[in-house]
Amino acid sequence: MARPDPREIAEQVAQALAEDVGGGDLTAALVPESALAEAAVISRQEAILCGRDWFDEVFVQVDPGVTLDWACEEGAALHDGVKVCRIHGPARSLLTAERTALNFLQTLSGTATRAAAYVRAVSGTGARILDTRKTVPGLRMAQKYAVTCGGASNHRIGLHDAILIKENHIAAAGSISAALGAATEVARQAGGVEIEIEVEDLEQLTEALEAGARRVLLDNFDTDLLREAVATNAGRARLEASGGVSLETIRAIAETGVDDISVGDITKDVRSVDYSMRFL
């Protein structure tokens, strides 16, 4: 996924600064207005760098006169102690922007770093790691972008760009075949979006395949059932495993032969990367 629209980044940053700075930074006012400073942002752990555009935008909105010099590219693998960028400008501006800028950088780097860990865990199996809609409210596009920085792939962006038929949709429609039939017409009207259906057992999988499903989500199947599902499918549909996925279980899931594994943990249980900004 490409970087989100710069206008969206600017809006997110403006909202974040409004809640942090409010009517003004009272503590920064202790520093002489004329004082200049130089600072470095340092990674305190191994991580994947993500969020440079948001970090830069914070300083642009606080003080366009601040200059930033990045030593690491977006998506770079960092180790503990790396100075990822240097910042120069009025000391007050650096102090005011610091927390908001680091919040974006640590959150998006955390998402990218977690995605990379899952990608490494299934290396060589052919399985693709997907994200979900379990994102931080207001940061959907940012986190989806961070997932790709970590080497994983995006599932649907939202409810508007693909159809995912879940158990309640099936119950409301009356059956799997009825839900798929209705989805086909909706997809056509929406310009040919992808249709995926969730199943909870092998019987439902068979029904979905017989109804023409081309992408099926296997909900909370254990590894034995996943192997049976792959055999039953025989290459007719793209199979996605979901539910009960962790770094400890994902390798075994991938080795069953499923095509995709969706992981909510990547975006909903964000473990922020530890960065610090230090004046030099």
Catalytic residues: 99, 134, 166, 198, 219
Q: In Å, how far are 18, 87, 92, 168 from 63, measured between CA atoms?
A: 15, 12, 10, 50
Q: Is the dihedral of CA 93, 99, 102, 104 positive or negative?
A: negative
Residue-level length of the chain: 280
Q: At what angle do helices 52-62 and 91-121 cross, to 10 degrees?
A: 170
> What residues have CB less than 8 Å from 125, skipping those under 6 apart?
251, 254, 255
Token pair listed for 165: 């038929």
Q: How many CB atoms lie within 10 A of CB 73?
A: 9
Burial class of 88 by CB neighbour count within 10 A (0 to 12, 13 to 18, 19+):
middle
Residue 210 belongs to what H/E stretch? helix 202-210
Q: At what angle do helices 202-210 and 176-189 cross, to 10 degrees?
A: 50
Task: Name the nearest CA neighbour of 233 among 260, 263, 202.
Answer: 202
CA separation for the pair 234, 160 (Å, rounded) = 30
